Amino acid sequence: MLSNLATRDVETLLHPYTNLSAHRGTGPLVLERGDGVHVYDTEGRPYIEGMAGLWCTALGYSNAELAEAARAQMGRLPFGHLFSGRSHDPAIELAETLKELMPIPTSKIFFCSSGSEANDTQVKLAWYYNNALGRPNKKKIIGRLKGYHGVTVASASMTGLTANHADWDLPLPGFLHVATPHHYRGAEPGESEEAYSARLAADLEETILREGPETVAAFIAEPVMGAGGAIVPPRGYFEAIQAVLARYEVRLIADEVICGFGRLGTWFGGQALGMRADSLSFAKAVTSGYVPLGGLSVDPALYDVLVAQSEKLGTFGHGTTYSGHPVASAVALKTIEIYRRDRIVEGAASKAPQFQARLAALADHAIVGEARGIGLIGGLEIVADKASKRQYDPKAGVAARCVAFAQGEGLIVRPLAGDRVAVCPPLIIAPDEIDALFDRLTRALDRTRDWIRAQGLEAMPA
C-alpha cells in the first residue's frame, strides 16, 4: 500500500524517464534529506547516492557554503537578466572564471539553464554561423547512436536513443547518427581499440562524403557516453575523428554536461581523452546540481560572426529569461571556488585507481560481461553468456532488477539500455565509501544472479 506522500506523487506528478503505468502501482522512492554522499528516504533509511543524483552533485549533499551563497545572493539581487545589455556581478565574474578554465580557445560564455538548452543553442549557432558565412546548405548535425544530448526538439534529435525518438516524431530531418564507439560491442574479433577507432573514423568520413561535406555543419559527442551506457571510447578515437572533421570544416561540439568539472580527474573530460573541440556545453556539476545552470563556450571565430550579424540584423536574437541568473551564477562561483580550494579535481584523479579497480573486478562476476570506466564514472553490462556476449531479452528487465536490488542494499545506481548499470558517485566520496559502494553493488549482482536462476532466464533465448 502506498504511503500518503507516494499517493500524492502518483496523483500529481508526471515523472521523466519512468514507466508511468508501473509507477502507479509501485510509487516513488521519496527522499527527504541528504548529507555528503548519502541521501535518506522518508523512513530515515540511508542510501549511498551512487549516481550523484543525475551525474551532477559533485560536492555531495547539504554543502553549507553553497546554501549560503544562494541565500546571500537572494538577499542582494534575487533576479537579473542579460537582455538588452543589462548585466550583474555574478554573471560577469562567472564568465571570467569559466573562460580561465576552458581547455579550448574561448571568447565568450553563453548561459542558459540546462544541458538540453545548451546543446539546443549549439545547433542554432551552427545554423546561424553558416547562414552568416553564405553557406545555407551546411546545416546537418551528426551525433552518435546511444549518445545523449538532451530532450528539447533539437537536442533530442541529436540524441541517439530509441526512447527519445519513438512516437515523438524525432529526429528532425538533417540530424544523422553514426556508430556507437563501444569496443566491447562493436569491434570485430581480434580488432584492437586503435583499429576500431580508425574504422569508426572511416565510417564517419563515408557518411560526410555521402551527405556532401557542404551540407554537414557539426559533429557532437560526449567524452564518455552517459545515458547511453557509461561507455568509454576506444583508444585513439577522438584523434581519428578530429582528423576527419578538420578535412571537411565540420565543427566539433563537446557535450561536457556529465564529464565537465572533474568527473574524469580533469577539469573537462575531453582533456583526459585527447578531445579538441570548437565549442563545449556544460551544466550539472558547474553548480554541483544545487541550482539549474548550463551554458556553452563561444570561440573567437564564431563570436566575430555573431558580432557582424548583430550589426547587420540589429540584434542577436537568442536568449532565455534565466540566462546568467544571479543566484545560479553565485552558486556556480562558490562551487568552482570549492573545487579549486579543496582540490576536488585532483582528489577525483587520486581516487580513480581504487574506484576503477573495484569496478574492473566486477567483470569476474558470473553475469557481468564488461565493467569499464575512467575517473569516477563507470558502467557494467549484464549478459546471459560471457563468452558469446549474449544478452537477456530486454523485456526481462534484468538491469532494472539489479538496480532495485541495489536500492535494497542501500545504494542508488541507474539502469540504462542494453542491460547496463551506471555508477557515478559524488566526487567527494571517501575511499571507505568507495569500498562500501562496490560491496553493496556486488551483493546486488549476487541477488540478481539468484533471481535470474529462480526465474529460469538462463535457459531462455535472448
pLDDT surpassing 50 at residue 462: no
Three-state SS for 405?
Answer: helix
pLDDT (average), residues 293-297 = 98
pLDDT surpassing 70 at residue 184: yes
pLDDT (average), residues 376-381 = 98
pLDDT surpassing 70 at residue 177: yes
Q: How far, in Å, are 86, 158, 351, 352, 370 from residue 445 at the CA level?
A: 54, 33, 23, 22, 13
CA–CA separation, 138 and 336 (whole Å): 37
pLDDT surpassing 70 at residue 395: yes
pLDDT surpassing 60 at residue 461: no
Q: In 10 A of CB 93, how many CB atoms?
A: 14
Q: Which range, of 3-7, 304-308, 311-315, 319-323, averages the lowest pLDDT?
A: 3-7
Number of H helices, E strands in the chain: 16, 15
Mean predicted lDDT score pLDDT of the chain: 96
**Calculated CA dihedral for residues 179, 182, 186, 190, nearest 10 degrees:** 140
Q: What is the pLDDT of residue 459?
A: 57
pLDDT surpassing 90 at residue 460: no
pLDDT (average), residues 368-390 = 97
Q: What is the pLDDT of residue 346?
A: 98
Q: What is the pLDDT of residue 4?
A: 87
Q: What is the pLDDT of residue 3?
A: 73
Model confidence pLDDT, tens digit, residues 120-171 = 999 999 999 999 999 999 999 999 999 999 999 999 999 999 999 999 999 9
List the grid coordinates of 139: 546545416
List the grid coordinates of 335: 562551487
Residue 1's pLDDT band, with cuts at 50, 70 and 90, is low
Share of the chain above pLDDT 90, in %: 97
Q: In 10 A of CB 150, how many CB atoms?
A: 25
Model confidence pLDDT, tens digit, residues 331-340 = 999 999 999 9
Model confidence pLDDT, tens digit, residues 413-450 = 999 999 999 999 999 999 999 999 999 999 999 999 99
List the grid coordinates of 189: 574479433
298-327 per-residue burial string, b: 16 or more CB within 10 A, e: under 16: bbeebeebbeebeeeeeeeeebbebbbbbb
pLDDT surpassing 70 at residue 325: yes
pLDDT surpassing 70 at residue 113: yes
Domains assigned to the chain: 4-62+343-459 (3.90.1150.10), 66-341 (3.40.640.10)
Q: What is the pLDDT of residue 262?
A: 98
Q: What is the pLDDT of residue 458?
A: 74
CA–CA separation, 60 and 37 (whole Å): 5
Model confidence, pTM: 0.96
pLDDT surpassing 90 at residue 292: yes
Model confidence pLDDT, tens digit, residues 79-110 = 999 999 999 999 999 999 999 999 999 999 99
pLDDT (average), residues 39-61 = 97
β-bridge pairing 108-112 and 294-298: antiparallel
pLDDT (average), residues 312-318 = 96
